[in-house]
């Protein structure tokens, strides 16, 4: 006689897995922190995402702009977020990371830092951006292809 584990892990038993939805939509805020990132985020925003909204950092750093140019408070956006994705290019222009990261930290919102455009960038420029992102990111991704961010968003059901 088969053990419970043997029987239940068979392909045949997979048919009886509960099909009801097992998660609520998560709200993801994607924020471009500099010019290089803005181009990536604008392209990404055209992807028809259901649960993601897209912004650019601005000054003063407690505000954001949506892609139509409307201003909004960092605090309000973070309050509504399950995950904040901070996107920055090389060169250390991600100054807004601190203000946004602090807001996320206060509200215990998960952050992912994403460095784009690294393929042709000098290493010290990538490092300077990393130094800005690292204190405020609970996950950092450095991908040679910016399209990875699309796959990440899909994987996270954005």
Partner 1 sequence: MLRNDQNDLLTQTGPGTPMGRMFRSYWIPALLADELPENDCPPVRVKLLSERLLAFRDTEGRYGLIDEFCAHRGVSLWFGRNEECGLRCVYHGWKYDVTGQCIEVPSEPDESGFSRKIKLQSYPLVERGGILWTYMGPPEAQPPLPEWEFITVPRSQTFTTKRVQETNWLQAMEGGIDSSHVSFLHRGDLNSDPLFKGAKGNQYNLNDARPVFEVVESAGGLHIGARRNAEAGHYYWRITQWVMPSFTMIPPRGNHAVHGHFWIPIDDENCWTWSYDYHPTRDLTHAELAAMRDGKGIHVKYVPGTFRPLANKDNDYLIDRAAQKAGRTFSGVEGIAMQDASLQESMGPIVDRTKENLVSTDNGIIMARHRLLRAVKALTDKGVVPPGVDAAHQKVRSAALVLPPDVPFTEGAREALIARPAVAPASV
| Smallest separation, CB 144 to partner 1 (Å) | 5
What whole-number distance in Å separates Cα of residue 128 and Cα of residue 122? 10
Residue 144 in the binding site for partner 1 (CB under 8 A): yes
What whole-number distance in Å separates Cα of residue 19 and Cα of residue 11? 16
**Phi and psi dihedrals of 22, rounded to 5?**
-120, 15
Q: CA–CA distance from 138 to each of 1, 101, 102 (Å)?
A: 47, 10, 12
What whole-number distance in Å separates Cα of residue 153 and Cα of residue 138? 16
Q: Which two tokens stand for residue 87?
A: 């996107």
Residue 25 in the binding site for partner 1 (CB under 8 A): no
| Smallest separation, CB 59 to partner 1 (Å) | 25
Helix, coil or strand: residue 114: strand
Per-residue binding letters, 58-97, with partner 1 (x by CB under 8 A): -------------------------x--------------
- Position among 42, 43, 71, 145 found at the interface with partner 1 (CB under 8 A): 145
- Position among 65, 67, 121, 142 found at the interface with partner 1 (CB under 8 A): 142
Residue 4 in the binding site for partner 1 (CB under 8 A): yes
- Position among 50, 108, 120, 155 found at the interface with partner 1 (CB under 8 A): 155
Cis peptide before 101 (omega within 30 of 0): no
CA 157 from chain centre, in angstroms, equals: 12
What does the binding site for partner 1 look like in residue numbers (CB under 8 A)? Answer: 2-6, 8-11, 13-14, 17, 22-23, 83, 110-112, 123, 126-127, 130-131, 134, 137-145, 148, 151-152, 154-157
């Amino acid at each position: 006689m088969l053990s419970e584990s043997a029987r239940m892990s068979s392909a045949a038993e997979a048919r009886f897995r509960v099909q009801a939805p097992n998660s609520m939509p998560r709200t993801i805020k994607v924020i471009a922190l500099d010019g290089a990132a803005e181009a990536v985020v604008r392209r990404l925003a055209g992807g028809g995402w259901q649960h993601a909204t897209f912004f650019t950092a601005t000054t003063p750093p407690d505000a954001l702009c949506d892609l139509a140019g409307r201003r909004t408070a960092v605090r309000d956006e973070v309050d509504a977020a399950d995950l904040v994705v901070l996107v920055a290019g090389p060169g250390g222009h991600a100054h807004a990371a601190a203000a946004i990261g602090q807001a996320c930290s206060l509200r215990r919102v998960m952050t992912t830092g994403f460095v784009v455009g690294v393929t042709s960038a000098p290493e010290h420029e990538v490092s300077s951006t990393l130094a800005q992102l690292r204190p405020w990111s609970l996950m950092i991704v450095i991908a040679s292809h910016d399209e990875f961010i699309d796959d990440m968003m899909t994987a996270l059901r954005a």
